[in-house]
Structure 1
Amino acid sequence: MTNTSRRKFIKNSTAVVTIAGLTSIFPKLYASVGATQKIRVGAIGINGMGWSDLNAILKHPDVVCTALCDVDNNVLQKRIKELEARGITVKGFNNYRDLLKSKDVDVVVIGTPDHWHCLQMIEACQAGKDVYVEKPLGNSIAECRAMVDAVKKSKSIVQVGQWQRSQQHFRDAVAFVHSGKLGKIRLVKAWAYQGWMKSIPVKPDGPVPAGVNYDLWLGPAKKHPFNPNRFHFDFRWYWDYAGGLMTDWGVHMLDYALLGMKATKPISIMASGGKLAYPQDAAETPDTLTTVYEFEGFNVQWEHATGIDGGPYGKDHGVAFIGNNGTLVLNRGGWEVIPEKGRMDGIAFQRSVDDGLNLHAVNFIEAVKSRDSTTLNCPVEDGAAIAIFSQMGNIAYRTGKKIYWNQETWSFGTEDADKLISASYHNGYRLPTI
């Protein structure tokens, strides 16, 4: 996604949608909104996708925002003013635990860096809140497992921000894959070639910016002097906080690879890549990576590259189901079928016609109102499955070995791979025992 596309996406996410437009999509949901009580929403982490998620949820007429939280007071005050300009008055917090204590919050949106998702989601559930948590669900396999257990123990409705699951064209494409018309599928490719992401220049450590609670930003991550490269958006290129493009984009594209193949756990995983484009820049995660997941009868292959957009089939992101009769290529823009000559008819590009984030938000609020988690398009179990799958790819890369997952023991059986199953917690924080 280009920077321009990202700005357009966020702008579209904050635009006001008329109730009339939504009622045409969900007539039963909006038929009696006047008789329902407002659902009070608070958001934690509001600089990027957390803000987009909140604004998508606020388009629902039964929702009101009552609280915002961010460790960067500059961001917090900016967002408070933006809501005030729209006639919305909220309380502001710098510490998420203060927001969770608020009796004026029913639903929590979590848009913080990946290394905070687990603790904040679990504590929100323990506080009796419903949760919309950004992807990837957790920053380690162990975190994802704990988060699933926490939701099962609570009565909370939890939606994971895999918003493509709410788009009709993705569902149509998967239904076609399931029809069998492509014939035997031997390989599924998923990729993200991100030309917008250039080299991150090395910058010196420096003072913490005024208004930033840096210790609270670090939380369970190990101590490190403040560096602008590790803060806000670019945190995702450091192992302490995230998993690079594999967990940033991989959880989206690989999610549909698994849905299409009705697959869950691989037999083996191997990966190769590194900092091949920008070997001397400041990022830690690989700018180029190929990962192969072995399943019974087929493989799933992940590719990512930064600084270039020339991905497979001329697309900078996507999923391709390669069958004996033809190949279905799917991305956020739509899907098509490229036939093998004489074996099937092709299908011209079917364009996306809806807004996945807005639909995902409505799906979440509908589940909150009905108290029925089975209606969620991405419940915590599904978010955990794809986050774990992506983490397996990173572990294969970081160990430099072909690894094998044992679902019975929740381990790989090798010391170097098994030590990466759990994220290291620091500064007095501990992974909750559920």
Structure 2
Amino acid sequence: MSKSNFSRRKFLSTSLLTTAGLGALPTLSFASSNNTPSLAGEKVRLGFIGLGRQAMGLLNNFMRNPAVEVIAGADVYEVKRERFALRTQELYKARGSAAPKISLSHDYRELLDNPEVDAVVIASPDHWHGLMAIHACEAGKDIYLEKPLTFTVKEGQMLVHAVRSNNIVLAVGSMQRSAPNFQHAVRMVQKGYLGKIKTVYANVGPDPFPKAVDYEAQTVPAGLDWKAWVGPRPNMPYMPDLNPPISLDPVENEKAWGAWRWYKNTGGGLMTDWGAHMFDIAQWGIGMDRSGPVQIIPDQGDQPLKYTYSNGIEMLVAPFDDRRQGVKFIGEKGWITVSRGAYDSSVDACKREFTREEFGFGAHHVDFIDSVIMRKEPMVPVEIGHSTCTVCTIGNIAHELGRSLIWDPKAETFAGDWEASTMLHYNYENGYKI
């Protein structure tokens, strides 16, 4: 597909995309599980922003799709840019095709200015998600955005507006929605096989650690622009676990996930890391997509963090059964548990066996490329990513304040609590604006 034809289709179909985004989507949809684009022969040229460990996995998955051409990457760490170029060339070679020249940028805005890039994959640390994605919308790029959607609730509100006002396809990396075991669990709940749902357990993990600024600074690796990595957040010391160093000679990749996700000033702890997955499934199952709870009660002694919804359902953030991260729906007639690579139910009509292959997530990345080509809504559009992310964030706020909060999911505000409301965003620093 020529660049001009792709742009023309995008222009002609924007009004349909906007209408779909603002209207009600089907409660449940099922993604294809193959790696064949819906419109054979058409290409989507991808640029990657944030080239760490998660990006390497996404690169492998997207490059399996013959409709994808990866042509650009951006990161503030030089060696990661070099690794990205080498890995991309290897994947093109495995395809049996010549690799194009890979454009590498220190500043992601240079990538966004590249007219050859159709869409971007954003796999940066959480505190960068909102600003990068909004800039991508303004540049007219479609977006695959890693979860959680944004770092603050206000960023999420602004990103929803930016996506819709610029007619952008934005898919959230909540890939569990494309997995058959999670889809089956939600379908059984929504079809009423458990009867009326009373309680949902979501095992995700705790809130974030203290701020990273409380730790002793260490030497910044050569080639890493630490000031640019910190970006809009308050200045903080460099620690290797925030942006794990890598090497190309000898080859040494990250030994752990970037610990920025565990610290309060750059991430939301396991509440946002796993909560963005499990709260997403819980809200999908109980029909609260694009909405949220009306009350949050922080954990107190033996009482776990609890969300209460307007329909009376309570979601408890606590381990259940085998204690793995997952979701348990409990109804009048029985229960369903679902997690990565597992599914079970006490109700015979809900029981089903899944093959190992069915537990994969490749269909989620295919769905994004199909959505870009066909100008359709992806499996997880921006509004759903925002509502899920908001649940994570307001849970952390309730925990930090140590008191119950009343939440209006429609207005997206705390009722009568000025202090809690000030925590829905922060003032950008170091010259950044949103």
TM over 0.5: yes
Q: Residues 6-405 of structure 1 correspond to what in structure 2 (within 5 A)? A: 25=34, 29=37, 33-34=40-41, 36=42, 38-86=43-91, 87=93, 88=99, 89-192=101-204, 204-232=216-244, 233-263=258-288, 264-272=291-299, 290-295=304-309, 296-303=311-318, 311-339=319-347, 347=351, 350=354, 353-354=357-358, 356-373=360-377, 376-405=378-407
Give the equivalent residue in structure 1 for 2:22.
none
Q: How far apart are 1:189 and its partner, in Å?
A: 0.2
What code does the residue aligned with 1:392 have? I
CA gap of 1:353–1:416, structure 2 versus 1, over 3 A, is: same
Looking at structure 1, the residues matched to 354 and 173 of structure 2 have their Cα atoms a distance apart, in angstroms, of 24
Looking at structure 2, the residues matched to 350 and 193 of structure 1 have their Cα atoms a distance apart, in angstroms, of 26
What code does the residue aligned with 2:170 have? V
Q: How far apart are 1:336 and its partner, in Å?
A: 1.4
What code does the residue aligned with 2:422 have? K
Q: How far apart are 1:360 and its partner, in Å?
A: 0.7
* CA offset digits 1:277-304 (Å, max 9, x no partner): xxxxxxxxxxx9932001232201113x
Looking at structure 2, the residues matched to 187 and 23 of structure 1 have their Cα atoms a distance apart, in angstroms, of 31
Work out whether residues 73 and 94 of structure 1, in 8 Å CA contact, stay in contact via their aligned partners in 2. Answer: yes
What code does the residue aligned with 1:384 have? H
Looking at structure 1, the residues matched to 103 and 236 of structure 2 have their Cα atoms a distance apart, in angstroms, of 31
Looking at structure 2, the residues matched to 59 and 97 of structure 1 have their Cα atoms a distance apart, in angstroms, of 27
CA gap of 1:224–1:237, structure 2 versus 1, over 3 A, is: same
Looking at structure 1, the residues matched to 107 and 168 of structure 2 have their Cα atoms a distance apart, in angstroms, of 22
Q: How far apart are 1:348 and its partner, in Å?
A: 5.8
What code does the residue aligned with 1:365 have? I
Work out whether residues 169 and 351 of structure 1, in 8 Å CA contact, stay in contact via their aligned partners in 2. Answer: no
CA gap of 1:351–1:391, structure 2 versus 1, over 3 A, is: farther
Looking at structure 2, the residues matched to 220 and 377 of structure 1 have their Cα atoms a distance apart, in angstroms, of 30
CA gap of 1:352–1:187, structure 2 versus 1, over 3 A, is: farther
Secondary structure of 1:419's partner?
helix
TM-score by length of 2: 0.81
Work out whether residues 205 and 270 of structure 2, in 8 Å CA contact, stay in contact via their aligned partners in 1. Answer: no
Q: How many percent identity over aligned positions?
A: 33
Count of aligned pairs between the two proteins: 375
Where structure 2 has 5 or more consecutive residues not aligned to the other structure, the ranges are 1-30, 94-98, 245-257
Q: How far apart are 1:231 and its partner, in Å?
A: 2.9
Give the equivalent residue in structure 2 for 1:278.
none
| Two-structure CA RMSD over aligned residues (Å) | 2.6
Q: How far apart are 1:33 and its partner, in Å?
A: 2.2
Work out whether residues 299 and 399 of structure 2, in 8 Å CA contact, stay in contact via their aligned partners in 1. Answer: yes
Looking at structure 1, the residues matched to 300 and 366 of structure 2 have their Cα atoms a distance apart, in angstroms, of 39
CA gap of 1:273–1:160, structure 2 versus 1, over 3 A, is: farther
* CA offset digits 1:161-214 (Å, max 9, x no partner): 0011111221111111112121222110010369xx9xx9x9631221110011
Of residues 377, 384, 408, the one that matches 1:406 is 408
Deviates more, 1:255-264 or 1:185-194: 185-194
